[in-house]
Chain A
């Protein structure tokens, strides 16, 4: 059904984004708890969530700072975890690329898994949307997720300061990472990428400055990409996209 106004497009986005509060909320809560346990104040936790808005990258930075990795490695690793947002940015550009610059800048700040996935599917399915309607829909999908992200970060930080000491909270981060990784094992190349990264990471722990992580990550990426070429197993990549 075509939208008649930008307002109705915005509210359609809000409605479609609503279920995702149940994904973003618990993650933000967990981040708040773990970050305060790591020694961050409530203000620092909220700043982190407002400035960065990226679950896995925030957890990565937190873990590496606790390991006292060099700052450059903390930033490189966390940004590598977040590299997928560059792909989202590329995928949305054909639909939003002609909107005013300030809107695109604001949209970029809010680009997360949910806003990308919902908007891209919508724009693809409904070719009749105007650019202002697309922008309105996009910002609509962000609204609730954003409120919940900030609110639950605060709630988590408040809970974290109240938790008793002596809980095995040191292992909360590895558990969070493993839970995020498990659903990513969609295809054989994903499994190969993860497997190679694990083996290299275990062999490379003695490399100084946590550089082993970067080496292992790159080895995993190359292994996954190569496996995909050999197997052509990823349904996301039609064969004709390949330049060979």
Chain B
């Protein structure tokens, strides 16, 4: 269970921070172009942060830092279907189905 004070700090901190990111150029900067090196790095933020967040959750998903085969299986299927179909919801559906199936089979 998470702490409620922390939750509200995160909600408003994230709200203000996201607004500032969105307002940065529309509001403050005007139409000056961004340096190319900055744009180039910004392009890879989400594609770096999200895998970095999810990798330990998949690989250390079992008790005491081991790998839980049901969760690893579900992750592999989600990623595979996602890359194959480019469809977020096909990937979620396939991953969830795999997880339920493996939990049922392997206990």
A217 contacts which of B42, B49, B59, B99 (Cβ < 8 Å)?
B49
A177:B53 contact, CB within 8 angstroms: yes
- Give the residue name and chain of the B residue nearest to A237 (CB): B40
Return the contact of B36 from the options A63, A77, A242 (Cβ within 8 A): A242
Which A residues are closer than 8 A to B by beta carbons? 23, 26-27, 30, 38-40, 44, 47-48, 51-54, 56-58, 60-61, 63-66, 68, 71, 74-75, 77-90, 92-94, 96-97, 101, 104-105, 107-109, 111, 168, 171-185, 189-190, 193-198, 200-202, 205, 212-213, 216-225, 228-229, 234, 236-237, 241-243
- Which secondary structure dominates chain A's binding surface? helix
Residue pair B6, A71 in contact (C-beta under 8 Å):
yes
Task: Give bound CA distance, A241 to B34, whole Å.
Answer: 11
Chain A to chain B contacts (Cβ below 8 Å), 10 pairs: A54-B18, A65-B6, A87-B39, A90-B24, A108-B26, A111-B22, A183-B88, A194-B48, A205-B60, A229-B40
Residue in A84, A111, A168, A219 whose beta carbon sits within 8 Å of that of B99 in the complex: A168
**Residues of B bordering A, CB below 8 Å:** 1-2, 6-7, 9-15, 17-19, 21-27, 29-31, 33-37, 39-61, 70-71, 74-75, 78-79, 81-83, 86-89, 91-92, 95-96, 99-100, 103
Assess whether B17 is in contact with A75, with CB atoms less than 8 Å apart: yes
5 closest cross-chain pairs (CB), A and B: A182-B82, A220-B48, A224-B44, A51-B15, A216-B52
